[in-house]
Amino acid sequence: MARVAVIIPNYNGIQLLKRCLDSLAGQNFSDFEALVVDDASTDGSAEFIRAEYPEVGVIQLEENAGFATAVNAGIRATSGEFVAILNNDTEVEPDWLSRLLGALDAHQDAGSAASKILWDDPRDTIYAAGDFFCREGFGGNIATGETDRGQRDEPGWVFSASACAALYRRAMLDEIGLFDEQLFMFYEDIDLGFREQLAGWRCIYVPGSVVYHTGTATAGIFSDMRKFQLIRNELVVLAKNLPGPILRSNIKAILRQQFRASIQALDEGRTSILLKARFGALKALPYQLKARRHIQSMRRVDPGHLEQMIRPYEEYYPPKEAQPGEWDVPAGEPSTGRRILIIRSAGRLLSPAIEYARSGLGANAIDVLVMPGFEDTIPTEDGIRPITYPGRGRFCGITMPRSFARRLRKRGYDTTIVLRGGASGRGFLNIDLVALRAGARDILYFNEDGPAHQFSRWGFAGRLARSSWEFLLILCAFTISVALLLAIWVFGASDAKSPENPELDQ
């Protein structure tokens, strides 16, 4: 029996598997078995593996059941002391697995180990240095978008491991249960991490265990399905796991976040997706309450211990204050010629947008409006510089400070380019308003398919009028969030005390 079982869930990923499996075969640790769980692919993935990688096991599911179900099938089919989860769109360094295993051997109280995950392109940019769950009631990757300069090279305790590339102790999984198959995909790793923390286990971040990740290669980063799952599962995971005392002490922050998420859906023209996702979370309330009763009965730590791991969002992505001279024209920057502002709402479009600004618009100076903490993602080239947006969350023209708008207009932009990663007809109303308040003579859209599209102020006004009904959808969706949180508030007041720790203060 191999000491480690490496589970690779796959759905129509035949073009990804060769790189992943080749890098796995190059590990300097050999006491492992690899198993691909094919989630009812239609592209011949299973046949490809059997023909090209006979040493790799294959399980074929009869229907597409999602990430969590596929991973669980792999875990149940293996018996190693440890279980590694690896996405099919990854490439691992030769010591990836040995370093994770060494960390769990050295820390017997750790139930899981998190890899240092870098974007595949560019490879000097961090995708995740572990996962967080914050007091605003949502989770995500730590250090996303940071340029890797060694600042995340110290091991330490994190809330959970990204299941893109992680190692789990089977003894912990036997105690707390496997991934929640009700979640289908997204948030299942944070949900597992929640149960891990509540049961008294810990997760260690192992920076020497390096993985390169394409990112959302299966679901699609801008897909409606991905958006639906993220919105729905955020509420489901919160409702199942967050102890009543922590919910009550952070309820205002959680409600503000739910409202901000609603505005974000309006920005993206996805209010119907928002409403369906929130309703889906409310519809699953009986399941959440049943799961919550079981999870809280297994709790081995008091809420105060868990609250140390659940910190404010700004501690993970702190807002940046404007620095003296930030708005000055840098030395050597031409005083004449075209000046372009790019609003970075979709990172992968940035490079082609810069090239378009230079070759298509003749730009001499390019400013890139970027959220706090993402300044390092902007190319360090002559004529390009980041300007930090003064706020958290999404760009929002409604709440943008007047002083900031005045400074943007003072820069005298000839053109503002709005990066739009979704379908070309989608909303982004608040980002459009940011562009309007920046005061450029022309505003262009730059879409995923490449071409720029002229922005019309009259078109914006008309779309705003036509979208007025969407505000009603937002109100309904927010009301659903309030109702669900109220139910958890009431139910959380009677969270069961652990039978092994009846003294725990609820």
CATH number at residue 447: 3.40.50.10770
Residue type at 303 in one-letter notation: P
Residue that the structure tokens 């700004």 belong to: 314
Across-strand partners of 150?
A: none
Phi, psi of 497 (to 5 degrees): -75, 145
pLDDT at 423: 45
56-70, 75-89, 284-298, 358-372: range with lowest mean pLDDT: 358-372
Q: In which band, very low, low, confident or very high, does the pLDDT at 32 lie, cut at 50, 70 and 90?
A: very high
The parent domain of residue 364 ranges over: 338-465
Is residue 294 one of the residues assigned to a domain?
no
390: left (phi over 0), alpha (psi -120 to 50) or beta: beta
Kindly write down the DSSP assignment for every residue of 398-447, as one continuous string: TT--HHHHHHHHHT--SEEEEEE-S-TT---HHHHHHHHHHT-SEEEEEE
248-257, 275-284, 451-460, 471-480: range with lowest mean pLDDT: 451-460
% of the chain beyond a pLDDT of 90: 53
pLDDT at 457: 66
Cβ distance 341 to 369 under 8 Å?
yes
pLDDT at 504: 38
68/188 Cα distance (integer angstroms): 7
pLDDT at 113: 98
* The total number of structural domains that make up the chain: 2
pLDDT at 172: 97
Q: What is the pLDDT of residues 227-268, one digit of tens each?
A: 899 999 999 999 999 998 899 999 999 999 998 888 778 767
202-206, 211-215, 320-324, 442-446: range with lowest mean pLDDT: 320-324
* Joined tokens for residue 150: 């060694």
353/272 Cα distance (integer angstroms): 30
Is residue 488 one of the residues assigned to a domain?
no
* Joined tokens for residue 170: 């089977």
More confident residue, 184 or 86: 86
Q: In which band, very low, low, confident or very high, does the pLDDT at 481 lie, cut at 50, 70 and 90?
A: very high
Answer yes or no: do 38 and 170 share one domain. Answer: yes
Is residue 61 one of the residues assigned to a domain?
yes
* For residue 84, pLDDT beyond 90: yes
pLDDT at 250: 94
The rounded Cα 282 to chain-centroid distance in angstroms is 22
Phi, psi of 460 (to 5 degrees): -65, -45
More confident residue, 78 or 441: 78
More confident residue, 31 or 504: 31
pLDDT at 270: 81
Which stretches of 142-246 are assigned E, i.e. beta strand? 156-158, 165-169, 202-213
Is residue 305 one of the residues assigned to a domain?
no
Q: What is the pLDDT of residues 128-165, one digit of tens each?
A: 999 999 999 999 999 988 889 999 999 999 999 999 99
248/488 Cα distance (integer angstroms): 10
**Domain end residue (candidates: 219, 237, 271):** 219
> What stretch of H or E contains 133?
strand 131-133
64-78, 162-176, 281-295, 323-337: range with lowest mean pLDDT: 323-337
**Domain end residue (candidates: 219, 251, 284):** 219
Cβ distance 115 to 166 under 8 Å?
yes
Contacts (Cβ under 8 Å, ≥6 apart) of 408: 341, 387, 437, 438, 439
pLDDT at 500: 45
Whose CA is closest to 2, among 84, 107, 91?
84
Q: In which band, very low, low, confident or very high, does the pLDDT at 77 lie, cut at 50, 70 and 90?
A: very high
**Domain end residue (candidates: 187, 219, 251):** 219
Answer yes or no: do 201 and 347 share one domain. Answer: no
Is residue 105 one of the residues assigned to a domain?
yes
More confident residue, 127 or 326: 127
Q: In which band, very low, low, confident or very high, does the pLDDT at 470 lie, cut at 50, 70 and 90?
A: confident
Nearest 10 degrees: Cα torsion 482, 486, 488, 494: 170
pLDDT at 425: 46
pLDDT at 198: 95
266/51 Cα distance (integer angstroms): 48
Cβ distance 274 to 473 under 8 Å?
yes
Is residue 362 one of the residues assigned to a domain?
yes
- Burial of 56-78, coded b for 16+ CB within 10 Å and e otherwise, reads bbbbebeeebbbbbbbbbbbeeb
More confident residue, 433 or 132: 132
* For residue 398, pLDDT beyond 60: yes
Answer yes or no: do 212 and 350 share one domain. Answer: no
pLDDT at 394: 64
Contacts (Cβ under 8 Å, ≥6 apart) of 461: none
44/200 Cα distance (integer angstroms): 42
Is residue 302 one of the residues assigned to a domain?
no
Find the mean pLDDT for residues 264-279.
84
Answer yes or no: do 343 and 215 share one domain. Answer: no
pTM of the predicted protein model: 0.80
pLDDT at 503: 38
Is residue 272 one of the residues assigned to a domain?
no
Residue 164: CATH number of its domain: 3.90.550.10
Q: What is the pLDDT of residues 326-338, one digit of tens each?
A: 555 454 555 456 8
Answer yes or no: do 206 and 344 share one domain. Answer: no
Mean pLDDT of the chain: 86
467/266 Cα distance (integer angstroms): 9
81/392 Cα distance (integer angstroms): 42
* For residue 363, pLDDT beyond 80: yes
Across-strand partners of 113?
A: 167, 204
Answer yes or no: do 150 and 12 share one domain. Answer: yes
Cβ distance 8 to 37 under 8 Å?
yes
